[in-house]
């Protein structure tokens, strides 16, 4: 066994080796601390909100299908009435280290977004998987149309909450769509709700847009599934 006095008689090369290993360990600790600090600063820089507003163009891109024999049926869609409690934004992203980024739609009128989205859907593949003669017009501007569709938007929301190493996204819609039939002066109303959620590791504003478009599509899919065209009027399917 060696005692403390024996260390004084160790060869100089051993002392040099001990000193070298100590320097290496100290250097590794400093490098590791620097990497962690840089990583933390990069996360902090990307996880703080400045209160700015990001606008989304949410109209889905539809591919028209071949149109069937025209029936001369004219459909008008009026911009939906905005009945939301908060009309300043559709939601926000809450950042990990504080602050928010606000979300809104291009034009800041969700009711118009839904009217144009429904019109685009009907022109592409509406009832019976065919294209229909549809246009968007101001309320009361085309009273002689066979079918006039309007609605009320009660909820049109998109939110993102940043967490450590992930961001949780939610979107939701709640609205009522009402069709007025000129043939027999009847009306058909449908109340619809839809929501989506997702978790992403690397957040992008395109993730919010993708989820909102999916929510709108789901709402319109269910509306078309619940209604049909019969005797030049829009009717409930069941």
Are residues 38 and 121 located together in one domain of the fold?
A: no
The whole-model pTM stands at 0.76
Look up the CATH number of the domain holding residue 58: 3.40.50.10610
Residue 76 near residue 148, CB atoms below 8 Å? yes
Residue carrying the six token digits 């490098």: 31
At residue 58, the pLDDT reads: 85
Band the pLDDT of 4: cuts 50, 70, 90: very low
Residue 114 near residue 150, CB atoms below 8 Å? no
Are residues 23 and 102 located together in one domain of the fold?
A: no
At residue 25, the pLDDT reads: 52
List phi, psi (to 5°) of 130. -130, 170
- Render pLDDT for 11-63 as a digit per residue (tens, 0 to 9): 554 445 544 555 545 544 454 444 343 444 344 444 555 679 999 998 756 55
Residue 216 near residue 114, CB atoms below 8 Å? yes
- Residue 223 clears pLDDT 50, i.e. is over it: yes
Are residues 87 and 17 located together in one domain of the fold?
A: no
Are residues 133 and 98 located together in one domain of the fold?
A: yes
At residue 98, the pLDDT reads: 85
At residue 138, the pLDDT reads: 93
Are residues 176 and 70 located together in one domain of the fold?
A: yes
- Residue 144 clears pLDDT 80, i.e. is over it: yes
At residue 22, the pLDDT reads: 56
Cβ-defined contacts of 228-233 (< 8 Å, 24+): 228/127, 229/73, 229/127, 229/128, 231/183, 232/71, 232/73, 232/146, 232/181, 232/183, 233/146, 233/147, 233/181, 233/183, 233/184, 233/186
Range of the domain at 72: 49-236
Number of structural domains, the chain? 2
- Render pLDDT for 66-92 as a digit per residue (tens, 0 to 9): 554 456 799 999 999 999 999 999 999
Distance CA 160, CA 203 (A): 9
* Average pLDDT of the segment spanning 159-180: 96
Helix (H) or strand (E) holding 103: strand 100-105
- Residue 230 clears pLDDT 80, i.e. is over it: yes
Are residues 39 and 140 located together in one domain of the fold?
A: no
* Average pLDDT of the segment spanning 142-149: 92
Distance CA 8, CA 27 (A): 27
Contacts of 131 (CB under 8 A, 6+ apart): 64, 65, 66, 67, 68, 122, 123, 124, 125
Instruction: Give me 158's structure tokens.
Output: 């998109």
Q: Sort 228 into a burial class: Cβ within 10 Å, 0-12 / 13-18 / 19+.
A: middle
At residue 8, the pLDDT reads: 52
Are residues 129 and 53 located together in one domain of the fold?
A: yes
Are residues 162 and 227 located together in one domain of the fold?
A: yes
Are residues 40 and 68 located together in one domain of the fold?
A: no
Are residues 34 and 99 located together in one domain of the fold?
A: no
Instruction: Give me 213's structure tokens.
Output: 């478009």
- Residue 6 clears pLDDT 70, i.e. is over it: no
Are residues 150 and 184 located together in one domain of the fold?
A: yes
At residue 202, the pLDDT reads: 93
Number of H helices, E strands in the chain: 4, 11
Are residues 132 and 183 located together in one domain of the fold?
A: yes
């Amino acid at each position: 066994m060696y005692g403390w006095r024996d260390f004084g008689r160790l060869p100089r090369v051993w002392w040099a080796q001990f000193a070298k290993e100590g320097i290496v360990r100290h250097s590794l600790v400093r490098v590791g601390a620097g990497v962690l600090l840089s990583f933390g600063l990069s996360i902090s820089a990307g996880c703080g909100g400045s209160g700015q507003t990001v606008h989304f163009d949410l109209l889905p891109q539809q591919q028209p299908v071949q149109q069937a024999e025209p029936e001369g049926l004219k459909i008008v869609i009026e911009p939906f009435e905005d009945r939301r409690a908060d009309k300043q934004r559709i939601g926000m992203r809450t950042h990990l280290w504080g602050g928010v980024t606000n979300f809104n739609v291009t034009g800041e009128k969700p009711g118009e977004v839904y009217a144009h989205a429904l019109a685009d859907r009907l022109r592409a593949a509406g009832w019976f998987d065919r294209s229909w003669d549809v246009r968007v017009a101001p309320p009361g501007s085309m009273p002689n149309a066979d079918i006039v569709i309007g609605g009320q938007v009660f909820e049109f929301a998109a939110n993102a909450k940043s967490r450590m190493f992930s961001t949780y996204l939610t979107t939701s819609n709640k609205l009522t769509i009402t069709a007025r039939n000129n043939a027999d002066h009847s009306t058909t109303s449908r109340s619809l709700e839809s929501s989506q959620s997702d978790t992403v590791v690397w957040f992008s504003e395109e993730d919010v847009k993708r989820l909102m478009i999916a929510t709108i599509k789901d709402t319109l899919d269910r509306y078309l599934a619940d209604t049909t065209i019969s005797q030049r009027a829009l009717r409930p399917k069941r």
